[in-house]
Structure 1
Amino acid sequence: MHSDREGRPGYGQGRDALIAATIRVVADRGVRRLTYRAVATEAGVTHGTVQHHFANLDELLEAALEYCVAVSLAGSTLVPAGDRIEDFVATLGDSVRATLDEQVFQYELVLESRRRPELRPHVDRYYENYRAATGEALRRLGLPDDLHTVDIVFSALDGLVFRAVALGGAELRNLDAQLDRLREILVQLRRG
């Protein structure tokens, strides 16, 4: 993202800057502290600029969540190119460490959806995207891709990432070893 001397986003980059600012605000302060003013300050734009691009905060949250899911799926190798289990989520640990704010944002939104039902459709789509990618991965790997297996594998991944993101430190460093163990379990599942 390019900006002018004052730290403002370059022409045509306002929407992207607002999404990035939203992610940082929520990751640092939580969803309940998200305001137009907080996003504007973080992005280095006026309050009106935020309202120009997003009619309400839910629309801004939805755009930010879509961005986070796309970044997470692109960086995780959740759906490997081939049928090697060794390639399944091989880059997930590095991706999580490189996108901590995006990971925190997603979990913050999931938790906040318990208190704010209007966020639930966004969270449901979030989980649908990850479950669909997990199902596609299992099919490519020659593993069972029924609803329950997809949910178990996705929940294992989601739980490992959540714990690593929430606790940081050793948990974040141990994520790769835990993912290695999950792949070993999947190899055993494929052998039957």
Structure 2
Amino acid sequence: MNTRTDNDGQSPRYGQGRDALVAAAIRVVANHGLRKLTYRAVAHEAGVTYGLVSHHFGSRDALIQAALEHSVRASVVAFTTAPGSGDIDALFGNLSEMVDADPGTQAFQYELILEARRRPELRPLVDDLYKAYRKVLAQEFSCSALPVDDALVRLVFAALDGLVFQQTALGGADNTRDALSRLRDILNGLKRQP
């Protein structure tokens, strides 16, 4: 059996199983879409038995929720290279590198978002995903002396989301970096005077 694992070709070691299964679920969705996410597909991808996936998650929805939470934790760190510093030049400093390093995590999120259009029961997960990102962005804005109003946070997040989507789908990290630099210039112009 030819499977991918996070452990140099070995099945996950004891204590790493759940994380390896979450990572495998993200890869399955990123490569084949949310509709192909099954316990069997995840088990095959992780190089473990089908029963282990069921044991750790109990339901497909629980697996999706765990994978989404993992993907948000992996992505939100790219919002700034200096959390809480107020340094606008640090905002989005590693975003294009994060996408290049792990486009599958972003593809997983976009697959979930698109599937939520067809399956309304997934909509709360997508709402929570976007709320988590906007919350972190609003926190960084408040540290940066930027106005923290919902419209500005939504606007900037929409720009980030679009740039990440384009880079995930088409590549072009240099284009993303250039656009982010311009976005930081605009935000510097919006800073509140002390």
Normalising by structure 2, we get a TM-score of 0.91
Residue in 2 that maps onto 1:143: 146
- Do structure 1's residue 48 and structure 2's residue 47 form an aligned pair? no
Q: Equivalences for 1:105-184 in 2 at 5 Å?
A: 105-168=108-171, 171-184=172-185
Checking the alignment, whether the CA contact within 8 Å between 2:71 and 2:105 is kept in structure 1 is yes
Checking the alignment, whether the CA contact within 8 Å between 1:37 and 1:47 is kept in structure 2 is yes
Residue in 1 that maps onto 2:191: 190
Partner AA of 2:28 in structure 1? V
Residue in 2 that maps onto 1:99: 102
Q: CA deviation at 1:123?
A: 1.0
Residue 134 to residue 47, structure 1, CA distance change in 2 (3 Å):
same
Residue 3 to residue 139, structure 1, CA distance change in 2 (3 Å):
closer
Partner AA of 1:73 in structure 2? V
Residue in 2 that maps onto 1:59: 62
Give the distance between the partners of 2:81 and 2:117, measured in 1 at CA. 27
User: Can you give the 5+ residue segments of structure 2 that lack an aligned partner in the other structure?
Assistant: none
Give the distance between the partners of 2:6 and 2:154, measured in 1 at CA. 40
Percentage identity across paired residues of the two chains: 51
- How large is the Cα RMSD of the aligned pairs? 1.9
Give the distance between the partners of 1:120 and 1:79, measured in 2 at CA. 32
Checking the alignment, whether the CA contact within 8 Å between 1:79 and 1:136 is kept in structure 2 is no
Checking the alignment, whether the CA contact within 8 Å between 2:6 and 2:12 is kept in structure 1 is yes
Checking the alignment, whether the CA contact within 8 Å between 2:146 and 2:192 is kept in structure 1 is no
Residue in 2 that maps onto 1:71: 74
Residue 61 to residue 2, structure 1, CA distance change in 2 (3 Å):
closer
How big is each residue's C-alpha offset from its partner over 1:73-131, in whole Å with a ceiling of 9 and x where there is no partner?
A: 12331773312211111111111211211111111111111111121111111111001
Residue in 2 that maps onto 1:37: 40
Q: CA deviation at 1:17?
A: 0.9
User: Can you give the 5+ residue segments of structure 1 that lack an aligned partner in the other structure?
Assistant: none
Checking the alignment, whether the CA contact within 8 Å between 1:77 and 1:91 is kept in structure 2 is yes
How many residues are paired up? 189
Give the distance between the partners of 1:140 and 1:158, measured in 2 at CA. 21
Give the distance between the partners of 2:153 and 2:109, measured in 1 at CA. 20
Normalising by structure 1, we get a TM-score of 0.92
Give the distance between the partners of 1:23 and 1:2, measured in 2 at CA. 12
